[in-house]
Amino acid sequence: MERSQLFEDMKKAIIEGDSQKAESLAKKSLQNQIDPRKAINSGFIPGIQEVGKMWEKGEYFLPELMTSANAMKSAMALLRPELKKSQVPTKSRGRVVIGTVEGDIHDVGKSLVASMLSANGFEVTDLGADVKLDKFLQSAQKKKAHIICLSALLTTTMLGQKRFIEMLKEKKLKTQYKILVGGAPTTQKWADEIEADGYAENALSAIQLALKVMGHKGSLQ
């Protein structure tokens, strides 16, 4: 099967919320030795993005959104271990605490960023979704993290990113960590406004950003 057709089918499986199909296509891409990052970026992500557009247009409702998100998760569950296998460097590149901020249950993008960071040599503590701001700080202190990644997918919850940075400033801890923000409604402008240390619009640029703030000159493996 042509790669472009495979990617098209992956997109379709997510749009149709067909978990079984998404899994079998993920398996097929691995059998055909397609880089899992390519399968995610060219097949599955365009699918979930299309679902977002259909929701905006009122063509899809919450149940469809959920079945599509589940199909995305099924595919990711198969591809995630392969991401790790393919490229772990031997030396740790830094410790990262990541989560989706409180009030927000979207975790697909955050989990993707976490998997890719870990595949690229970062030691990642994934706190999950709907994470209390205090918990980010407690975990960062416990793990002696270098980077804290805050994901937010809602215009309401992105304010949690701002509050977290304010909290660090109040506690005079802002300079101890590099704070990275991301998620669909966030932008570089927003990151500058709230004085985050960086913003990235997807998982690949998130790795580059993490390497940059850690002072690693090396590019992606």
Contacts with ligand B12, residue ranges (CB under 6 A): 45, 48-49, 51-52, 55-56, 62, 65-66, 69, 103-110, 112-113, 149-151, 153-155, 180-185, 200-203, 206
Minimal distance, residue 102 CB to ligand B12, in Å: 10
Report how far residue 15's alpha carbon sits from residue 96's, in angstroms, rounded to the nearest whole number. 32
Nearer of residues 31 and 57 to ligand B12, judged by Cβ: 57
Which of 90, 93 has the CB closer to ligand B12? 93
Question: Quick one: 31 or 97, whose CB is closer to ligand B12?
Answer: 97
| Closer CB to ligand B12, 8 or 50, in the complex | 50
The residue number whose beta carbon is nearest to ligand B12 equals 109
The nearest distance, CB 191 to ligand B12, in angstroms, is: 9
Tell how strand 198-199 and strand 123-126 pair up: unpaired
137: which 2 tokens? Answer: 């700080």
SS3 label, residue 71: helix
The β-bridge partners of 151 are: 100, 182
Q: Least Å distance between CB 69 and ligand B12? A: 4
Which residue spans within 67-184 are E strands per DSSP?
95-100, 123-126, 147-151, 178-182
The backbone torsions φ and ψ at residue 195, rounded to the nearest 5 degrees and listed phi first, read 65, 40
